[in-house]
Structure 1
Amino acid sequence: MQEHVSLVYDIVHPPQAERDALYFWRQMALVATPESAPPRIPVPAALRPALSLFEAASEGSVNGGPSVPSAGALYPYEHFAIVGGPDDPAVFAVDVARRTCRLLYDREQVAQALERGGIALPGPDAYLILTVVRPWLSMRKYDDRGYLYAQLDAAHLGAHLLCLGSRSHHRAEWLTRAATAPLAELFGLGDRCRFLHSVLLLDGPAHARTPSPSTQAWSCTDERHMSPGAPPGDLPEGQSWRRLAVYRQEPPVRSAAVRRGALMPGSRDEPDRRCRPGGAELAARAVRRRSAKEFAAGDLPARALQDALTALATPLTTDLPPSDGFGATLVARRVVGLIPGTYPVLGGEIAAEPTGTAVADDDDIVRMCMGQEHLRHTCAAVVFHARHQEIFGLGMAGVEQALLRAGALAHLLCLSATDTGIAITTIGGFDAGRWHALAGIPGENEVLYVALLGVTGASAVKLDRLQRAYAHDER
């Protein structure tokens, strides 16, 4: 009888372990989209030029889109397109991987946000591409360092889109200091732990507007009246965002002026034509761009290295101000025609004489790159750096501007190295103090980014893109 009572009790009042398991099982359950899904609508004709740009940005990858940040990866960034001209603007969220777009906002509310920010659509053919960063996607793997990676990778992407836009449009401007707070507020980005990184203004298509066959596969839904979803709240992403918000600064209250010029100090106003973005040859470089998986033992010719570095003098149309305190230093290890040592790079030109002869053996290179063994046979490195005052004098806004400049220049270098046949990869996981000492950088400077060049190896696996954080010494 006692045994029967116990059995009944267990059925009516299951043990705690069973209740816990049932609760967690329900937490893991998935729920399909409700039947009241947003209505499908035709893809607007005004949106197709923006979709064509995204299609072009995805060319060259076996996976349908650049998967390596230094190749201008579209993921994990979110994108919005504002089209329709000044009289009928509309905002679409664009998912390049799924080939879908969602109409979110239109007309007066969009026009007001643009007007408050001083961001204008100059004509009916003009449109804006907005890149949005979700820091958690990087910081959950790399902790605080992940914020630096997110900024550098977004700079690569911005430069990638700018170069492609320059090819297909008469006007292409990369706005990195625009007054985007009204747009961010309209989109509810802060509530969803995101921020607007930059805006690309495109106008005057270089060719007649004919729909690209590749854009015919896109679909569109009307989600103007849909809820954006619950914010992360006390989940890890929400906690990380609130801690980050202490350091981040609000966007400018007034958009900055645009100018065309090189981002690298010491560049001539009119460098060699082959350096300029926007030509057919640059589009070909973007398609063929690959990040080196491994360097093989060997040497680089100095002439090819110099040809690659000329890309640092490429003029871009941006709102970034001149920065005399920014610099790049070449660390030559195995370069035929150059004495091993360190050379300032001024306007894309290698200095005639080394300023230092410090060398690092293969083990040193691996150690300075946080145990990344595939970089052992690096032939040369370009170290991007800037003065403390220029980085930190403006708070986090100065940090972000410095990283954007370094990332954009590194992207141009990647494209140029591809054209010269040099293997290249960029790393954000490095010992800044050791690189500072090796490159002989002045003490008031901070290392921002490092690009490594060498001879292509045989490996097909890029360790620092795997799940483990190899660049942080994780084994």
Structure 2
Amino acid sequence: MHSIATAPMAWKDLIDPVAPQIARMEPLGGRVAGVVTRIEEMIGRGGASSLRRVPSAGATYPYEILLVSPASTSVVLVDLVRRQVVARAGDCFDVDADSYACLLVGRPWLSMRKYGPRGYLYHLIDGGHAIFDLALLSVTEPPPGPGTGLLPGSHDTVIGDVLAAGRITAGAPRSSSRWRLVTTADAHVQSGRTAFEKWATRISPPAPAPVVFDRVGNLPGQPERAVTARRSAGSFTPGYDTEPLRRVIASGVRCADSALEQLNLPRPVVQVTGHGAAAVTRPPTDLLAALGGQDHLIGADAYVVIGVPTRGDDTIDHRRQGLLIAAGVVGQALYLAATESGAAVTGIGGIDPSAWNRVLPAGQQALYLIAVGGSADGEKFDALHPGSHG
């Protein structure tokens, strides 16, 4: 395709798309199949369900999963949508290694094409959701040895920013009837990037510091038990009991604090607002406007406001990127704590930040909300496109 920065689209751009060069397709086997299944159980779909185990703004899921073979440092793509592992023809990817380096690679364009620059914020928050669940894979395993995050040379051929890395131990060899191994003749396993996405990388900030997710030990509350049942509530019915609500939020915050410390991430500010006794402050007077007109979300009993310190500059540096990722970690911990207790929960990014800034301590700015309360039937709408929330 022509460079969209220097030339308009041409006719051939419309009628001659670049097709994937598939050399071979076969059932996925070996020990890597077990690793892929474990990843899917944490951030993919469950069985025949279309629901993902982690939320995403607009269901864009703006990241990719790569696995690196320790012996050869060859890289494969784990496609959680198509349930296929994509390897490059000629690479010697070991499907029976004892462990693999897992890389979470950001694709902010997938969110930015829908939400504009704020999509970059969403892609880091969504990355934080995924990082929390990937960290749960190490909770039941002994701590890995040193140097098992980014393997030497493993990121040299990676397209995009590595948001997180960690080792995942393989179990016994197995075969998966749902997953396929696809061998491609393409130059990269990370295919499908348009000229628009490539251009967008030119305006994105420098890469954030990768989070090492395989250093997390035990977390309070056993959040891994709630992963399979997580979902975003479509709407809320007020009246959730105060004490259970207070315990849910406190449990989620404790779990998040422990995870952030072990992941070496900064802690964002967390403030509970609402009309019930569990809240520290009252929500904005015009709640509907503060929620960006999302009337199906006004019935929550509490809104957990996640914010960061204000600063006098506009630099998007490692500290600020780390806080955005941390906001996603906090959000997912609250999601799972609420799910475990039976409370309805959803994340809200389409807000009027200025309205929520007023309920935070001075010098803080709101990024993201987690709404908690009683459940009501209904579909979770998106602020820009109905029915597209994860």
TM-score range relative to shorter protein: 0.7 to 0.9
Which of 377, 385, 389 aligns to 1:467? It is 385
Aligned to 1:144: 117
Aligned to 1:240: 200
Q: Which runs of 5+ in 1 are unaligned?
A: 1-22, 112-122, 262-269, 343-357
Q: Distance in 1 between matches of 2:28 and 2:300?
A: 48
Which of 159, 177, 195 aligns to 1:216? It is 177
- Using CA pairs below 8 Å that are at least 6 residues apart, which structure has the higher relative contact order? 2
Structure 1 residue 63 displacement after superposition:
3.7
Structure 1 residue 288 displacement after superposition:
0.9
Which of 189, 193, 197 aligns to 2:163? It is 197
Q: Distance in 1 between matches of 2:27 and 2:47?
A: 28
The DSSP-based 3-state class of the residue aligned with 1:275 is coil
Contact 1:78–1:95 under 8 Å retained in 2: yes
Structure 1 residue 308 displacement after superposition:
3.8
Which of 320, 330, 333 aligns to 1:412? It is 333
Which of 39, 50, 69 aligns to 2:55? It is 69
Contact 2:229–2:339 under 8 Å retained in 1: yes
Aligned to 2:308: 386
Aligned AA for 1:128? Answer: A
Contact 1:296–1:456 under 8 Å retained in 2: yes
Does 2:33 correspond to 1:48?
yes
Structure 1 residue 242 displacement after superposition:
1.3
Structure 1 residue 64 displacement after superposition:
3.5
Which of 298, 302, 321 aligns to 1:400? It is 321
Structure 1 residue 293 displacement after superposition:
0.5
TM-score (norm 1): 0.66
Contact 2:101–2:151 under 8 Å retained in 1: no
Trace 1:67-146 onto structure 2 (pairs within 5 A). 69=55, 75-83=61-69, 85=70, 87-104=71-88, 124-146=97-119
Structure 1 residue 79 displacement after superposition:
1.4
Structure 1 residue 145 displacement after superposition:
0.8
Over the matched positions of the two proteins, sequence identity in percent amounts to 23
Q: Distance in 2 between matches of 1:292 and 1:255?
A: 29
Deviations 1:357-383 (A, max 9, x none): x4545xx22111111111111211111
Aligned to 2:5: none
Structure 1 residue 137 displacement after superposition:
1.3
Aligned to 1:449: 368
Q: Distance in 1 between matches of 2:280 and 2:261?
A: 34
Deviations 1:439-464 (A, max 9, x none): 3x12x2222321111211121x2111
Higher helix share: 1
Q: Which runs of 5+ in 2 are unaligned?
A: 1-9
The DSSP-based 3-state class of the residue aligned with 1:316 is helix
1:430 to 1:231, Cα distance in 2 relative to 1, 3 A: closer
Does 2:264 correspond to 1:321?
yes
Q: Distance in 2 between matches of 1:127 and 1:150?
A: 24
Q: Distance in 2 between matches of 1:217 and 1:426?
A: 30
Structure 1 residue 331 displacement after superposition:
0.9
Does 2:334 correspond to 1:425?
no
1:374 to 1:132, Cα distance in 2 relative to 1, 3 A: same
Contact 2:305–2:370 under 8 Å retained in 1: yes
Larger Cα-atom Rg: 1
Structure 1 residue 316 displacement after superposition:
3.2
1:181 to 1:74, Cα distance in 2 relative to 1, 3 A: farther
RMSD over equivalenced CA pairs, Å:
4.1
TM-score (norm 2): 0.79
